[in-house]
Chain A
Amino acid sequence: MSNQLAHSPLDRWHREAGARMVPFAGYEMPLQYSSIVAEHEACRNRAALFDVSHMGRIRFDGEGSEQMLDHLLTRKVSGMPVGAVRYALMCNSDGGVLDDVLVSYLETPSGQRYHLMVVNASNHEKILSWVTARLDDYPKVTVSDRTQLTAMIAVQGPLAMETIRRLFRFDPTRLKYYRATITDQFSKPVILSRTGYTGEDGVELIVRAEDAPRVWENLMLAGREHGFAAAGLGARDTLRMEAAMPLYGHELDEAIDPLTAGLRFACTLKDRAFIGDSALQEIDRAGPAKRRIGLLPEGKRPARQGCEVLDVNGETIGVVTSGGPSPTLGKPIAMAFVSAHHADDTEFMIDIRGKTVRAVPTPLPFYQRPST
């Protein structure tokens, strides 16, 4: 990987807003503008804007795209109606997770249909190579990397939808959860998707790179009187942790299969052929050896990724994959993989850098938005 860091089309806005910029997956992105806790609370109580342009956006065009994606993913893409969005895993032949992705089936105003896959920034190059290496089998499919040409913005929070609904030709409140459409803002094309990574209602937008600063400014302006905040990667992480959403490199990697990671819902194993299918069917039959659980460590000290989880007798039975303070709950939370025999234990201990603290299990997610 080169040492040159890439920049989002919104880079200048972040710097002018005084963001603390950090290297992340080959990009320099905002960690925080003011305070992670304040940005987290803005998202939970009002709404927050996130620049997620570092995420990879890969477009599949042409006959055979559906078959190709079906072969690559743990869920079927073929048969998805226009406007559908699907969460799925891409696995290697051992069932190890290469990435978790969102695939949307979109139609342009001129009637052209294509699939758009959003991948993690840290896996972008790997997934591109994995996908393009299989193009020989699908001669009519074109794969194009749209990441540099576009920007991606998430608007998340209880006030998000009502506040931004008039900014687009298509009213986003008409989109159901996990639905997407192509619309425009002042004649500039926008992909609107009712998805997110915070546990709040909201949308993710993909716009052309050159339009991104104006779209961002318009969103901020519309949200100003409602207390919208720009939020960085720090708050994105604490928000997704409370919502118990997996993060690649924490709950997911090539040594973890989706069933162990608690993502059975994102795998269709019956009557399907895809990379990793037999490995996953086998794990599904035998049951995963480990399970992902939620823990509440006692006291104020957060357990972090890598802290060992012990049973009440002090035997190591697992490891923390993500942990930190939960701004919403006001106490530390942690997700961990523990051996399946212990997954239903009622008491655990966590070794936090040499000090052992008690932890009680709690159902995931740690936070669920009030139903409306």
Chain B
Amino acid sequence: MTRDESKLLYAATHEWAAIEEEGGDRVATIGISGFAIEQLNDLVYMDLPEVGRSVAPGEEFGEVESVKAVSPMYSPVAGEVLEVHTELPDQLEKLNDDPFNFGWMIKVRLSSDEGIDQLLDHAAYQKQCAESQ
């Protein structure tokens, strides 16, 4: 199944979230947008959290590093990290081509709705990106 980027929610800090029902829980799959990856350019390192860690909206869950700079990645939601895409940091070159599918980073079991109303839909996020150029 290919994720449709136009149906995702976005944080102003460029993370995307896909919120789905999974076995009675609500689970957010999280990554960073194609726009952010293009802006970062030449990725060299990624640090992801351990399974079991709790995250709050706006809390740093990892970092991505390009040749030039380190950028923190912030959780768009509240909950507990259920799963981590551990192969991703070794295949950062693939992130460019497929940020919304292969590029997923963590899955978080939501503990509340906190933060979700702050997220942007695709149109609003695209507008923000266009304005930042």
Contacts and interface: CB of A to CB of B under 8 A. Distances in A.
B40 to A, nearest CB: 11
Contact of B42 (A37, A301, A304): A37
Interface string A289-323: 00000000000111010000000000000000000
A327 B42 CA distance: 10
Nearest to A40: B67
Contact of A238 (B47, B67, B70): B67
A31 interface: yes
Contacts of A35: 41-42
B127 interface: no
A325 interface: yes
Interface string A14-52: 000000000000000001100111000000000000000
A37 B41 CA distance: 9
A234 interface: yes
Given A301-B47, A304-B70, A36 B65 contact: no
A325 B42 CA distance: 10
> Secondary structure of the B side of the interface?
strand
B42 A302 contact: no
A302 B68 contact: no
Chain A binding surface SS class: mixed
| Chain A contact patch, size range | 10 to 19
B44 interface: yes
A324 interface: yes
A302 B65 contact: yes
B44 A302 contact: yes
Given A300-B45, A302-B44, A302-B45, A234 B65 contact: no
A275 B70 CA distance: 39
Contacts of A304: 70
A36 B41 contact: yes
A300 to B, nearest CB: 5
Interface string A216-241: 00000000000000000010011000
A40 to B, nearest CB: 8
A216 B122 CA distance: 41
Contacts of B66: 36
A36 B42 contact: yes
Contacts of A32: 41
Interface string A321-336: 0001101000010000
A53 to B, nearest CB: 21
Contacts of B65: 301-302
A325 B67 contact: yes
A301 B45 CA distance: 6
Contacts of B42: 35-37
A37 B67 contact: yes
Interface of A: 31-32, 35-37, 234, 237-238, 300-302, 304, 324-325, 327, 332, 353
Interface of B: 41-42, 44-45, 47, 63, 65-68, 70, 89
5 contacts: A35-B42, A234-B68, A304-B70, A325-B67, A353-B70
